């Protein structure tokens, strides 16, 4: 029995993420994925017309993971502004510590498809987080603010020859992001200092590892659910066939 289309799609995602988070996005190709899965490259492009489409699928999971991390940080008492600082800190630090992480996030910010998805997701979140500070803002205001924020995030994670301590670079970026959303200076300083006084390198490493585990778990659960659904359909088909045969 041939595999259903949706099952095969998740198998491709699972294999692609294994490559992306081991050798890097730039070093991953459809040919590598196809060879590992013992299929033709055409089968890969049937489900994902380009590598960028695969990347965007992982970005969707990234957004879900970030929402969960944001909620977890908020529940631990950081507050919404502190939680968003925590998220930005982990991404910037993760890229500083891992070339694979930097390669992944750089590809995300360089992809128009991924940027658009991220922007829509982050705009909706910003409306909630900064509702008080940005009272009276229109959707267009939030969209323009997020464009500036994404530019700051990209410049922060990019490799640089400048001898600027990581803590200073991240703190400056966070200050600019919160300034864009009209957070007052006292609150900016308090929330940024609180986050940067933590073991941000250790936290970032654990969060990156947790995201990779989340992606793998999401793929495995999707595959398990699909396999279960296929098995149930096959059992129902057999039962129906048996009923028809018994009635003859």
User: Is the pTM value of this prediction over 0.85?
Assistant: no
Q: What is the pLDDT of residue 1?
A: 43
Q: What is the pLDDT of residue 5?
A: 56
* Residue that wins the pLDDT comparison between 26 and 244: 26
Tens-digit pLDDT profile for residues 232-248? 777 777 776 766 666 66
d(CA 88, CA 169): 12
**178: nearest Cα among 72, 75, 79, 73:** 79
**30: nearest Cα among 88, 139, 223, 39:** 39
Q: What does the pLDDT average to over 6-11?
A: 79
* Residue that wins the pLDDT comparison between 239 and 91: 91
- With bands split at pLDDT 50, 70 and 90, how would you rate the model's confidence at 14? confident
d(CA 57, CA 241): 39
Residue 63's contacts (CB-CB under 8 Å, 6 or more residues apart) are 117, 118, 121
Q: What is the pLDDT of residue 123?
A: 95
Q: What is the pLDDT of residue 37?
A: 93
Percent of the chain with pLDDT over 90: 55
- With bands split at pLDDT 50, 70 and 90, how would you rate the model's confidence at 2? very low
Residue 240's contacts (CB-CB under 8 Å, 6 or more residues apart) are none
**100: nearest Cα among 29, 185, 18, 2:** 18
| pLDDT, mean over the chain | 87
Q: What does the pLDDT average to over 5-11?
A: 76
Q: What is the pLDDT of residue 24?
A: 94
Percent of the chain with pLDDT over 70: 90
Q: What is the pLDDT of residue 186?
A: 96
Q: Of the ranges 8-12, 43-47, 213-217, 222-226, which is most confident?
A: 43-47
Q: Please provide the DSSP assignment of the chain as one string.
A: -PPPHHHHHHHHHHHHHHHHTTT-STT--HHHHHHHHTS-HHHHHHH-SSHHHHHHHHHHHHHHHHHHHHHHHHHTT-HHHHHHHHHHHHHHHHHHH-HHHHHHHHHHHH-HHHHHHHHHHHHHHHHHHTTTTTTT--HHHHHHHHHHHHHHHHHHHS---S---HHHHHHHHHHHHHHHTT--HHHHHHHHHHHHTS-HHHHHHHHHHHHHHHHHHHHHHHHHHHHHHHHHHHHHHHHHHHHHHHH-
Whether the pLDDT of residue 218 is over 70: the answer is yes
Tens-digit pLDDT profile for residues 149-199? 999 999 888 766 567 888 899 999 999 999 999 999 999 999 999 999 999
Q: What is the pLDDT of residue 6?
A: 59
Angle, CA of 101, 103 and 107, to the nearest 5°:
115
Half-sphere exposure of 84 (CA within 13 A, CB side): 20
Q: What is the pLDDT of residue 248?
A: 62
Q: What is the pLDDT of residue 162?
A: 61
């Amino acid at each position: 029995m041939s595999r259903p289309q949706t099952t095969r799609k998740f198998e491709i995602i699972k294999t692609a993420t294994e490559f992306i988070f081991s050798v890097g996005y730039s070093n991953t190709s459809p040919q590598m994925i196809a060879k590992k899965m013992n299929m033709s490259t055409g089968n890969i492009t049937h489900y994902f017309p380009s590598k960028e489409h695969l990347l965007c699928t992982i970005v969707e999971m990234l957004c879900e993971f970030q929402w969960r991390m944001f909620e977890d940080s908020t529940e631990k008492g950081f507050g919404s502004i502190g939680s968003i600082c925590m998220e930005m800190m982990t991404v910037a630090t993760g890229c500083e510590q891992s070339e694979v992480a930097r390669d992944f996030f750089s590809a995300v910010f360089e992809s128009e498809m991924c940027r658009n998805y991220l922007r829509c997701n982050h705009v909706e979140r910003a409306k909630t987080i900064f509702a008080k500070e940005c009272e009276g803002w229109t959707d267009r205001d939030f969209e323009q603010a997020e464009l500036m924020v994404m530019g700051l995030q990209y410049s922060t994670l990019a490799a640089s020859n400048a001898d600027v301590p990581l803590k200073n670079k991240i703190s400056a970026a966070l200050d600019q992001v919160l300034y864009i959303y009209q957070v007052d200076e006292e609150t900016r300083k308090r929330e940024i200092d609180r986050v940067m006084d933590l073991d941000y390198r250790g936290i970032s490493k654990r969060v990156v590892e947790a995201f990779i585990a989340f992606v793998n778990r999401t793929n495995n659960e999707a595959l398990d659910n699909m396999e279960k659904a296929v098995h149930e359909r096959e059992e129902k088909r057999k039962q129906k066939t048996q009923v028809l045969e018994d009635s003859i």
